[in-house]
A and B are shown apart, each in its own frame.
Chain A
Amino acid sequence: DAKTTQPNSMESNEEEPVHLPCNHSTISGTDYIHWYRQLPSQGPEYVIHGLTSNVNNRMASLAIAEDRKSSTLILHRATLRDAAVYYCILRDAPQGGKLIFGQGTELSVKP
C-alpha cells in the first residue's frame, strides 16, 4: 500500500482557514486520495476524496498537486468543532478494500 506523510500536529485560530498537507510520493495511477477525520471519542468520518482535480464539498476542499505527489485539505473557516485528527489515505479504486490509516495530523483550534 502506498504511504502518506503528514505533520503530527497543527494549530489554527477559530474562523481562520486551515491547510493540512499530505505527501504521497509513491502514489499510483489508480490511487484515490481520501481524507477522514476523527473527533475525540468517536469513530473516523469521511471528509472528501479526489483523483486528479481539485474537489469541493460542504465540509472542505481538496487541492491536489499536478504530479499528484502531494495534496492539501483546506478547511475554509475553522471552528472549535473541527478539532480532530485528520487522516490522509490512498485507496486503489479498482481493488478497493481496506483503508490503511497512518498517524494523522492532530488539529487544535484556538478560540
Chain B
Amino acid sequence: GAGVSQTPSNKVTEKGKYVELRCDPISGHTALYWYRQSLGQGPEFLIYFQGTGAADDSGLPNDRFFAVRPEGSVSTLKIQRTERGDSAVYLCASSLALAGTGELFFGEGSRLTVL
C-alpha cells in the first residue's frame, strides 16, 4: 500500500533485551516522526527527522533509546536494555515537509511488550 508501514506489528521481548522497530514512510516524505503511546494516553513525541538528520530528539526518554534514518527514507528506532516500562505502542508518522501546515500520516504502530 501507499501508507506508512511499521514492522513488526507486535513484539514481545524479555527485560534487558535489545529491540529494533522499523518504519517505512510514504515515498517522497522528507519528515519522519516517532511517538510512543501508553494505554489511555495520547501519543508522546520522541524524535523527528528532516531527511537523514534528527531535527529534534528532545522526546527520547534516555540514552537507551536511539533512532536512525541513514538514507532519508526508512527509519529504525532502537531500544537497548529494555525495561517493563518501555511497553507501549510505538507510532511512526511521515509528512511532506517539516515546516508548514502539512498533515502527518501515521502508521498503525508497533506494539512492544516487555516481560
Cβ contacts B37-62/A at 8 Å (1 or 0 each): 00001111100100000011001000
The stretch among A11-19, A21-29, A76-84, A92-100 that forms the contact with chain B is: A92-100
Residues of B within 8 A of A91 (CB): 101
Contact A93 B45, CB 8 Å, known A43-B106, A46-B104:
no
Which B residue's beta carbon lies closest to that of A101?
Answer: B42
In the complex, which range does the number of interface residues on chain B fall in? Answer: 20 to 34
- Mark out the residues of chain B between 43 and 83 whose CB falls within 8 Å of any chain A CB in the assembled complex: 43-45, 48, 55-56, 59
Binding site secondary structure of chain A? loop
Smallest CB separation, B7 vs chain A (Å): 14
In the complex, which range does the number of interface residues on chain A fall in? Answer: 20 to 34
Does chain A have a CB within 8 A of B114? Answer: no
Interface residue from A95, A98, A103 paired with B42 (Cβ < 8 Å): A103
Smallest CB separation, B27 vs chain A (Å): 18
Residues of A within 8 A of B105 (CB): 46
B43 touches A42 (CB 8 A): no
